Amino acid sequence: MLASSLRFKKPALFNPVLYVARFYSHLPLSVPIKLPNGIVYEQPTGLFINNEFVPSRQSKTFEVISPSTEEEITHVYEAREDDVDIAVEAAKKAFNSTWKTADPAERGKVLYKLANLIEKNAETLAGIESLDNGKSLFCARGDVALSANYIRSCAGWADKIYGRLIETGSSHFSYSRREPLGVCGQIIPWNFPLLMWSWKIGPALATGNTIVLKPAEATPLSALYVSQLVKEAGIPAGVVNILPGYGKIVGERISRHPNIKKIAFTGSTATGRHIMKAAAESNLKKVTLELGGKSPNIVFADADIEKAVSNIIMGIFYNSGEVCCAGSRVYVQDTVYDKVVQAFKESSEKLKVGNPFDESTFQGAQTSQVQLEKILSYVDIGKKEGAKLVTGGERIGEKGFFIKPTIFADVKEDMRIVKEEIFGPIVTVSKFSTVDELIEMANDSEYGLAAGIHTIDINKAIDVSNRLTAGTVWINTYNDFHQNVPFGGFNQSGIGREMGAEALDNYTQVKAVRIKIDPKQV
Amino acid sequence: MTELPEFHELTLPNGFSYKQPTGLFINNKFVPSIKKETIDTIDPSNGEKICSVYAASEEDVDVAVKAAKDAFKTTWRHTSGSDRGRLLVKLSELCERDTDKLAAIEAIDSGKPFEQNAKGDIGELYNVLRYYGGWADKVHGQTIPVDDNKLAYTVHEPYGVCGQIIPWNYPLCMLSWKIGPALAAGNTIVLKSAEQTPLSALYLCNLVVEAGFPAGVVNIISGLGPVAGSALSTHPLVSKIAFTGSTAVGQIIQKAASSNMKAVTLETGGKSPLVIFEDANLEQAVKWAAFGIFFNSGQVCTSNSRVLIQEPIYMKFIEKLKECIDSDYKQGLPFGDDTVMVGPQVSKQQQDRILKYIEIGKKEGAKVFTGGYKVTDDEVLAKGYFVKPTIFYDVTPEMTIFKEEIFGPVVSCIPFKTEEEAIELANDTLYGLAAALFSKDITRAHKVARELEAGMVWINSSNDSDFRVPFGGVKMSGIGRELGEYGLTNYTQTKAYHVNLGWDL
């Protein structure tokens, strides 16, 4: 293989001064890493193609930073267009030779093994996730458990991808089959690196597709680590290929690759739009998108205020607010508005923010400097627009990307902090009096990912949930996922659904077969 | 009244030594039966006793049912589908790990050739358990749009305690077909194994414990049909009964179930036709026909015991079928020779019954092409319950061997002229379990398949079941479907919810 022989070739123009951060031809394919919780493990650094870790063709690397210390964790190899081509070729070959034709139950069997291996390595994976993303161990452990559960659920689906027999009278025999698409390109974000990996690969593999997946450049480590488990579980070479790299290069090539039949992306709405266009211009790839949100979280006067407040907190500060469905717009009925804002403020100020590896930490670091700055800029915007800063609004310390949980009250619906996705621990609290008024405010968004309702009145809960424009509605709970419940957005929050039986539709195409049985009948 | 040790130390002919539990498996423990009654289990390949195990009385059934009821109330109905699934998948993994052990026990107790038959059953066992493990968190209801004033939805609830009675021809496979969907759907179980073949199910109970099932979820008892089976079928706390076995017993069970309106699933007898058209790939038709009647010594409810052959190829087929028996269906002991395909019948009673049918066939004027007798020419095999694979030809629809289920390696061959005649002959039976047909003509194949009265139709194969595809009969071959997604429907009852959102009276 060309890729591996290049590893030993020093580029002629190698200049350590100029290229030190981006150009390590000698980066080993795995490096030992000691996690702050004491676990020592070997971190793969190569691209994962054909069940092997290989250097990128151009031997470029990029650095991975720990957001809680701003220190370098390691470098990993950076994929470029030529690496994408190699990975797609490997995936295509695997699709045609082994994966598509295998007994579906066999696919299930290896996915069950993969789920078990994720659980076996749970503490290491949670540690990697905390180190790389900055999220608290509390959050990271939840991600690992959800990932294992989801892969296990997909394992069960593998041999249950049924078509239908369509009764059309005795003259014909008609049936449908649900066939895999082929090579799927998948691009995942940095807020839930492992969990999004599982949401992507689970249904794609269960339905018989092969994969070229790009993890986010900010958080490539867990996807590389689990690649070892992919191999150990017995998933054949070429079925899962992982390419760390940048969106503009690797993401772009994946989106436009002529041999990729489907692209799935989770990330910003702007990038989602770009990917959809690229898919259209290249080969009309099937597209699934799970994008941004500005989800309303609604508290009615009759709600249990204490519980509602803890759900609002889970809704916006869980995972440091870096959640696409974060309940970033809180709507409180006027008669309890002041009471709720006060309780919310008090509870938020008690949240422990800091070292993700501290067992008592609730909120860790934001994932990058860029995010930190973006969030702080929105704090300024909010102040300028005249919103009342109830609490937070500033960075904590000087090392690590930590931000205080931030609440803005007395906001107007046309303020940018109410309209735009901030993707951080920053929330606005609006006031409403009637249900009709609320529905208008809540639905006045280009997004439609999720919504929350807090009330003891079952009729109101269901009536409001029916009227909300959102792919997920949580009632008396929030950010409460289950592997069998579909997730995805209305409006500009996305196309398609992840998890549940619905996710399988994203990765299958229907073939209808119609056989004429009786030539005498028309 | 006999005291048995908790385990028998057994060494099987292939050298495998193990501890055979003897008790009733209730609440995750092996316990003696209350009255200390026992049954002997016999090695059908030589007629010798293997060992005795405790047999359940009505009182024992009551204890087991109450254990299952408690487990349902306290643990199992609160166990999430995902967790139930994990336990089933774990059990599947343990069965796969213990393939050789389970296969050896199955071979000694039922007479199945170890290499060519028993091992395959274990594959079926763990595949079915894994498959239903996958379903456990996917048993979903529906929401039904009615109008703005109503939220309507359904939940597929488990029944509670399910009684399950399984036969001796596929002890572990039938166990998996029964417990897999029942547990996935959230029921608890009291399962009675067949009195001829209690051993493998008891051994599997060790794995149920090892997998981590809560006590009382799976209860397995050995015992006699008229005693333990009857007690299960009439027990007021059993909400559902599932039975695989003869049509006659199925009728008794259905009647008994009416006592408290138990839901009933029955998978009963068959007299399944295999129709061979002259355009068929004869080579393949012969091989599948042989497989469909001689595999497992013909002790298969779906066996193609009636082969209908289009006239031009009638005698040619029969000659080739005999050649196939001679070359591919070697008869012998379950252990020691990996090429043996046909073992003994499961019991003396079955052997006698089959031989009786052979005599009736001869008397009624059917002609024997090959076989037709019990094996006496081999000193070793003569001790066991072996019947020579038998082909009858020139069988007519009035004959007993055309009508009644023999459940042995005995096939009746009947000629036909036209498609219509074939369909009429095929459907001329009380049963409707399976049917098979061979034709290269895709139009004819589908057309005829539609006309066949059967729960399963194989086109260009026979007895080619798969755990993902439903299995069950029409007419007197049964009620309900096992396997596939359909299998789950036997073990759930639908509850409809109406939520009034604002329709004030």
A15-52 tens-digit pLDDT: 434 444 455 568 999 999 999 989 999 999 999 999 99
Residue with tokens 């096939």: B411
Q: Which chain A positions have a beta carbon within 8 Å of B485's beta carbon? A: 160, 162
* A262 and A341 co-located in one domain: no
At A519 the pLDDT is: 66
Rounded Cα distance between A46 and A227, Å, is 11
The sign of the torsion formed by the CA atoms of B231, B232, B236, B242 equals negative
Phi and psi at residue B421, to the nearest 5°: -65, -40
Closest by Cα among B271, B297, B289, B324 to B474: B271
Which tokens sit at B25?
């498996």
Give how far A257 is from chain B: nearest CA, Å: 34
At A23 the pLDDT is: 55
- Which parts of chain B register pLDDT below 50? none
Examine the fold and report which residue of A246, A270, A291 is the final residue of a domain before the chain moves on: A291
State the DSSP code for B277: -
Q: What is the DSSP string of A240-275?
A: EEE----IIIIIHHHHH-TT--EEEEES-HHHHHHH
- CATH for A401: 3.40.309.10
At A167 the pLDDT is: 86
Q: Which chain B positions have a beta carbon within 8 Å of A515's beta carbon? A: 442, 446
Residue with tokens 């296990």: A152
The percent of residues above 90 in pLDDT, for chain A, comes to 91
Which tokens sit at A235?
């998933």
Rounded Cα distance between A481 and B263, Å, is 35
> Mutate which of A151, A153, A154, A481 to test chain B, going by most B C-beta atoms within 10 A?
A153
Closest by Cα among B89, B80, B4 to B49: B4
Tell whether B134 lies on the interface with A, counting CB pairs under 8 A. yes
Q: Which chain A positions have a beta carbon within 8 Å of B499's beta carbon? A: 458, 462
Decide if A283 is inside a domain. Answer: yes
Pick the residue from chain A with its C-alpha nearest to B499.
A459
The CATH fold assigned to B60-268+480-493 is: Aldehyde Dehydrogenase; Chain A, domain 1 (3.40.605)
Mean pLDDT, chain A, as a whole number?
A: 93
Which tokens sit at A64?
């991975």
* A266 and A173 co-located in one domain: yes
Nearest to A149 among B82, B135, B485 (CB): B82
Beta strands per DSSP E along A398-520: 402-403, 406-409, 426-432, 450-454, 472-475, 494-495, 508-516
Say yes or no for a CB contact (<8 Å) between B138 and A459.
Answer: no
Nearest to A459 among B86, B140, B501 (CB): B501
CA atoms within 13 A on the CB side of A362: 18
> pLDDT band for position A6 (50/70/90)?
very low
Q: Where are the domains of chain B?
A: 60-268+480-493, 273-467
Decide if A236 is inside a domain. Answer: yes
Closest by Cα among B473, B443, B480 to B456: B473
Residue B451 falls in the annotated catalytic set: no
* A98 and A221 co-located in one domain: yes
Rounded Cα distance between A517 and A485, Å, is 41
At B426 the pLDDT is: 98
Catalytic residue among B267, B405, B453, B482: B267
3-state SS, one letter per residue, for B416-485:
ECCHHHHHHHHHCCCCCCEEEEECCCHHHHHHHHHHCCCCEEEECCCCCCCCCCCECCCHHHEECCECCC
Say yes or no for a CB contact (<8 Å) between B134 and A109.
Answer: no
State the DSSP code for B397: T
Decide if A505 is inside a domain. Answer: no
- Please state whether beta strands A426-432 and A406-409 pair in parallel, antiparallel, or not at all (unpaired): parallel
pLDDT at A1 over 80: no
Q: Which chain A positions have a beta carbon within 8 Å of B185's beta carbon? A: none
* A277 and A304 co-located in one domain: no
Q: Which chain A positions have a beta carbon within 8 Å of B488's beta carbon? A: none
Residue with tokens 């249990």: A304
Say yes or no for a CB contact (<8 Å) between A105 and B127.
Answer: yes
Q: Are A73 and A33 in contact (CB under 8 A)?
A: yes
Give how far B86 is from chain A: nearest CA, Å: 8
Question: Tens digits of per-residue pLDDT, A373-404?
Answer: 999 999 999 999 999 999 999 999 999 999 99
Q: Are A334 and A115 in contact (CB under 8 A)?
A: no
Which tokens sit at B327?
């070359």
Decide if A9 is inside a domain. Answer: no
Q: Which chain B positions have a beta carbon within 8 Å of A463's beta carbon? A: 148, 501-502
> pLDDT band for position A3 (50/70/90)?
very low
- CATH for A213: 3.40.605.10
> pLDDT band for position A168 (50/70/90)?
confident
- Full-model pTM: 0.91
At A218 the pLDDT is: 97
So what's the ipTM on this one? 0.86
Q: Which CATH superfamily is domain B273-467 in?
A: Aldehyde Dehydrogenase; Chain A, domain 2 (3.40.309.10)
Q: Are B239 and B262 in contact (CB under 8 A)?
A: yes
Mean pLDDT, chain B, as a whole number?
A: 97
Catalytic residue among A290, A322, A421, A498: A290
> Mutate which of A152, A171, A485 to test chain B, going by most B C-beta atoms within 10 A?
A152
Mean pLDDT confidence for A250-257: 98
At A98 the pLDDT is: 86
* A246 and A368 co-located in one domain: no
Rounded Cα distance between B5 and A240, Å, is 53
**Which domain does A337 fall in, by range?**
296-482
- Report the domain count for chain A: 2
